[in-house]
Structure 1
Amino acid sequence: MTATSTRRAPAASVARPRRYKARRRWSSALLSVLAVVIFLASVFPVYWMVNTSFQPNNEIRGSVLHFWPDNFTLRNYETVLFDPGRTPFLPALGNSLIVTILTVAIALVFAFLASLAVTRFRFRSRKGFILAILIVQMIPAEAMIVSTYRVLDDWSLLNTIAGLTFVYVATVLPFTIWTLRGFVNGVPADLEEAGMIDGLSRTGAFWRITFPLLAPGLVATGVFGFIQAWNEFLLALVVNSRPEMMTLPVWLRTFQTLTGTTNWAAIMAGSTLMAIPVIIFFLIVQGRMTSGLVAGAVKG
């Protein structure tokens, strides 16, 4: 081997890492740009809703786009909160909160027990139960509106919080059971047996070892149930049609008049207020989810 070839070999070996690092920098930059684009595409509708809520209604209907409220006004929020000519906002907010909280709590309890049963125990109809969950989940709730309405009417549950909660729980429960089943199945039963060897009872081993590991699953399924119950419109429109029993999605419909005109500025103000409880809920459960993920699986 000549001296020239020995000098070229180290130069080529040094050039390869440099090209590799350059490609990594370019790929990282492209991924960063893509992440920013996706973030802006996700945030822009929310920004446009809030921006529109502070503009007069005549500017919204105009042909000029206003990316910032030039004529800032709180008139839309006054219409939403204090207009005596329409259904009040606060009763609708209370109805939505009560129905959503009850739906999430009841669905989580039943789904948690059902997921434990199909995961930790072996019984004859276990596979049939899991298959039934999948089949029920495939059926859209809108296909059962007539039968649901007749059942609630026979039970005198129309235009009641209990009736709408009953319908929402039945709608949310199949997916909640299926999701929690995956979380429970991911926690090995050996952890409970190890806790029982250390002196814990079966119940104590479950609550002190297994349950903290299932907290992220409970939070994730609770978030799904909260969003679905909070934003649901069609079933609430059919089941609770009286003005005093409206939920917020149905209440937003009152800003559309019989003549077909729509007060879009007030709708955006109402939608902004409607999003605040969801943001608060996510801020609360975010910390709970993080603490559940780092919870230990050993006694002590």
Structure 2
Amino acid sequence: MRALGRPAQYLALAAYLVFLGFPLLWLLSSALKPAAELAIGGTGLLPANPTLANFAAAATDADLGTAAWNSTRVALGATLAVLVMALPAAYALARIRTRLKIVANGWVLVSQVFPVILVVLPLFLILRQFRLTDSLWGLTLVHAVYALPFALWMLQGYIAAIPRDVEEAGAVDGAGRTRILASIVAPLLAPGLVATAMFTLISSWNEFFFALVLIQDPDKVTLPLALSRFVSSEGQVQLGALAAGALLATVPSLLFFAAVQRRLTSGLVSGAVKG
């Protein structure tokens, strides 16, 4: 049985990788197919007449370069804001005993199941008062607020995995809580911060609904909004250009994930262990 166990595990892993990779393969196949082949419903995975015209159309018609730059600014800004706010707040929730901790954790959980569509109109009215509608700064703020509860929940687990002894040693040497957080906890929390930043960045990069409501200027659209240009109001879809654009929009996420994969894995493991 053991002799059969290892090949079965590899076979299951290979099947799982194929399952995960199939959407990307389908996107690549559709992006390389000419419009005529897509129009007749060509369903084969390999294009009969491969072409790069869809990539050129995606880059020019939707101005993906500008949209990608806008998405990068918003995603990086939201991620930085979330880390700056979530780190001290998560430390306080994980280490300081208070009755407000139960209320705060309950609110974090409730915020994750609250329908987003119910807050869109009040959010729009508030941002309009501060002249932040149709602004990348306003969209960055919204993404940060939206991702903050999940980041708080993640970082609490990572901080709880850090032994209190190292903090007590710093307190004995005369360090205050701020110094302990900056000089002791933060370096030990690096894998958790990377994992949190990864999820926040991807969430902001892929967000569509808030951008649709808040952004009207064509020069400020993000990548999801730019890709929506390939779907007309009549429901007609430029499938080849849309697949090419979606594939190009996915590449930065894959490259970033590959760059931080090792720290992300260690961060997920450490966050699952309570200290």
**TM-score, normalised relative to structure 2:** 0.89
**Correspondence 1:123-162 to 2 at 5 A:** 123-162=98-137
**How big is the shift at 1:54?**
1.3
- CA distance in 2 between counterparts of 1:91 and 1:257 reads 21
CA RMSD, aligned part only?
Answer: 2.4
The letter for the 2-side match of 1:233 is: F
Task: Give the Cα separation in 1 of the matches to 2:179 and 2:100.
Answer: 28
Deviation per CA, 1:191-219: give whole Å up to 9, x if none.
Answer: 2223566x584566555543232111111
Corresponding position of 1:26: 4
Q: Is the 8 A contact 1:53 1:265 kept in 2?
A: yes
Distance 1:287 1:68 in 2: 33
**5+ long unaligned stretches in structure 1:** 1-22, 294-300
Aligned counterpart, 1:282: 257
Aligned pair in 2 of structure 1 residues 263, 290: CA closer, same or farther (>3 Å)? closer
What is the deviation of 1:291? 8.3
- Distance across 2 between alignment mates of 1:260 and 1:152: 31
Letter in 1 for 2:162: V
Q: Deviations over 1:242-289 (max 9, x none)?
A: 212211101111112233321100001101110121122112222544
Query: Where do residues 238-257 of structure 1 align in structure 2 (5 Å cutoff)?
Result: 238-257=213-232
Shift of 1:135: 1.7
Query: Which has the greater radius of gyration?
Result: 1
Q: Secondary structure at the match of 1:177?
A: helix
- Return the offset for 1:108: 1.2
The residue that corresponds to 1:259 in the other structure is 234
Question: Is the 1:215–1:289 Cα contact (8 Å) retained in structure 2?
Answer: no
How many angstroms does 1:69 deviate by?
Answer: 2.5
1:37 paired with 2:12, answer no
Question: Shift of the alpha carbon at 1:234?
Answer: 1.1
Matches of 2:127 and 2:179 in 1, distance apart?
Answer: 41
Q: Does 1:49 align with 2:24?
A: no
Amino acid at match of 1:279: L
Alignment of 1:267-278 (within 5 A): 267-278=242-253
Change (3 A) 1:31 1:190: same
Q: Is residue 93 of structure 2 the alignment partner of residue 118 of structure 1? A: yes
Q: Structure 2: any 5+ residue segments left out of the alignment? A: 269-275
CA distance in 2, matches of 1:204, 1:126: 22
1:75 aligns with 2:50: no
Match of 1:218 among 193, 207, 212: 193
TM-score scaled by length of structure 1: 0.82
Distance change in 2, residues 1:210/1:48 (3 Å): same
Contact 1:112/1:180 (8 A) holds in 2 = yes
What is the aligned counterpart of 2:41 among 63, 68, 75?
Answer: 63
Summarize the Cα distance change of 1:284–1:200 in structure 2 as closer, same or farther, 3 Å threshold: farther
Residue by residue over 1:213-253, the C-alpha shift from the partner in whole angstroms, topping out at 9 and shown as x without a partner, is 21111111111111111111111101113212211101111
Matched ranges for 1:136-215 at <5 A = 136-194=111-169, 201-202=175-176, 206-215=181-190
Q: Once the two structures are aligned, what percentage of the paired residues are identical?
A: 33
Contact 1:107 1:169 in 2 (8 A): yes
Contact 1:49 1:268 in 2 (8 A): yes
What is the aligned partner in structure 2 of residue 16 from structure 1?
none
Code of the aligned partner of 2:146: T
> Does the aligned pair in 2 maintain the 1:212–1:292 contact within 8 Å?
no
1:100 aligns with 2:75: yes
